[in-house]
């Protein structure tokens, strides 16, 4: 299944972001630590490189991600020119407190106090941008919700005497090139449900869990994973959770089971899980290149 999701307000949001970046000193790109590259909007990279703006990549939700994979991603990003990457949880004040000093390191020309340091928060929907903004300002100024694309307009606020924060709407890009990226974004709830089929997304997630984190499935649901495939996991979850379609003679409700699996992953109750690593990313891109050349 190819997933595409580009709500109408995002066209205007992209145009506004390009205009605002001209005045920004540092781009703070909030990523989902469980899928850093899949949750990195290529349009953001294009915009910041065009304006030659340094980037602080925040691997948010790191408390939900596999710590070994996160360390590999930090090495990957910190080897890039003009980029600094750190793993944080926007729900932890101590993590959030690190952000302004790191931005100052990326824009030392603003440390003389003559002009404010202008920081622009960007990222795909539902990665924690609004949570970060509220935590930095220590008050609720941005709406936070479980559904993607809650923020639809830019907001600007002063942070102390010499800092300025700009919160932008979650930005997707018009065409998701790799189907796996769309699936990972959908599994992590960065894409609206109207654009996906939950059973297919949950089956994709189940296959990753079987390959890399089978113990989490056993611990959560109590079934053995040997011999199962993705659809088999959904059937096993449905059986364990009593997901039955009323009036259908005991037929399993796989859609309900899919939502249980997806929500358990999103809430972190299956353990600390990363959907991609630099190694799996390279393998995916290489397979895509070979497929396109055939």
Residues 148 and 252 in one domain: no
Structural domain ending residue among the three candidates 152, 167, 182: 167
Residues 100 and 56 in one domain: yes
| Residue at 118 is within a domain | yes
Q: Looking at residue 175, what is its pLDDT?
A: 79
Residues 158 and 263 in one domain: no
Percentage of the chain exceeding pLDDT 90 = 64
Residues 16 and 150 in one domain: yes
Dihedral sign for Cα atoms in the order 139, 143, 146, 152: negative
Q: Looking at residue 173, what is its pLDDT?
A: 72
| Residue at 37 is within a domain | yes
Residues 50 and 158 in one domain: yes
Residues 162 and 206 in one domain: no
Tokens 């088999």 map to which residue?
232
Q: Looking at residue 168, what is its pLDDT?
A: 83
CATH of the domain at 247: 1.10.1580.10
Residues 140 and 207 in one domain: no
Structural domain ending residue among the three candidates 127, 148, 167: 167
The boundaries of the domain holding residue 213 are 197-293
Long-range contacts of 201-204 (CB under 8 A, 24+ apart): 201/258, 201/262, 202/230, 202/234, 202/257, 202/258, 202/259, 202/261, 202/262, 203/230, 203/231, 203/233, 203/234, 203/258, 204/180, 204/230
Residues 148 and 231 in one domain: no
| Residue at 50 is within a domain | yes
> Cα separations (Å) of 212 from 11, 205, 269, 279?
37, 11, 16, 13
Q: Locate all alpha helices (DSSP H) within the chain, ordered by sequence.
A: 9-21, 42-51, 67-78, 93-96, 99-106, 129-137, 179-187, 198-212, 214-221, 230-241, 254-267, 278-293
To 5 degrees, how large is the angle CA 209–CA 214–CA 217?
A: 85
Residues 163 and 201 in one domain: no
Q: Are 99 and 16 in contact (CB under 8 A)?
A: no
Helix (H, G, I), strand (E, B) or coil at 129: helix
Residues 77 and 124 in one domain: yes
Structural domain ending residue among the three candidates 124, 152, 167: 167
Q: Looking at residue 148, what is its pLDDT?
A: 46
Q: Looking at residue 160, what is its pLDDT?
A: 80
| Residue at 3 is within a domain | no
| Residue at 180 is within a domain | no
d(CA 159, CA 138) in angstroms, rounded, equals 10
pTM of the model: 0.89
Residue spans of the chain under pLDDT 50? 147-150
Backbone angles phi, psi at 54, to 5 degrees: -65, 160
| Residue at 267 is within a domain | yes
Burial of 212: CB neighbours in 10 Å, binned 0-12, 13-18, 19+: middle
| Residue at 239 is within a domain | yes
Residues 110 and 217 in one domain: no
| Residue at 184 is within a domain | no
CATH of the domain at 36: 3.40.50.300
Q: How many domains does the chain have?
A: 2
Residues 123 and 264 in one domain: no
Taking Cα atoms as reference points, which of 191, 229, 232, 213 lies closest to residue 270? 213
């Amino acid at each position: 299944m190819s997933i595409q999701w580009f709500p109408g307000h995002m066209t205007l949001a992209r145009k506004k972001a390009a205009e605002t970046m001209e005045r920004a000193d540092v781009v703070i790109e909030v990523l989902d630590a469980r899928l850093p590259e899949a949750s990195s909007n290529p349009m953001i990279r294009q915009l910041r490189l065009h304006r030659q703006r340094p980037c602080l990549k925040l691997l948010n939700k790191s408390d939900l991600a596999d710590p070994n994979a996160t360390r590999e991603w930090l090495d990957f990003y910190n080897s890039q020119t003009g980029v600094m990457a750190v793993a944080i949880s926007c729900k932890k004040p101590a993590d959030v407190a690190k952000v302004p000093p790191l931005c100052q390191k990326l824009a030392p020309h603003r440390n003389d106090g003559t002009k404010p340091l202008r920081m622009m928060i960007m990222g795909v929907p539902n990665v924690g941008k609004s949570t970060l903004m509220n935590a930095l300002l220590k008050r609720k100024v941005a709406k936070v919700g479980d559904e993607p694309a809650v923020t639809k307009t830019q907001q600007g606020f002063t942070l102390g005497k010499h800092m300025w924060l700009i919160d932008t709407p979650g930005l997707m890009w018009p065409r998701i090139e790799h189907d796996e990226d769309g699936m990972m974004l959908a599994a992590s709830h960065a894409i609206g449900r109207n654009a996906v089929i939950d059973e297919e997304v949950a089956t994709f997630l189940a296959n990753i869990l079987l390959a890399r984190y089978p113990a989490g499935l056993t611990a959560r649901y109590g079934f053995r994973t040997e011999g199962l495939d993705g659809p088999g996991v959904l059937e096993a979850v449905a059986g364990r959770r009593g997901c039955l379609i009323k009036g259908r003679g005991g037929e399993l409700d796989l859609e309900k089971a899919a939502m249980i699996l997806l929500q358990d992953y999103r809430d972190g109750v299956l353990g600390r899980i990363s959907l991609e690593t630099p190694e799996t990313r390279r393998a995916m891109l290489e397979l895509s290149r070979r497929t396109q050349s055939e």
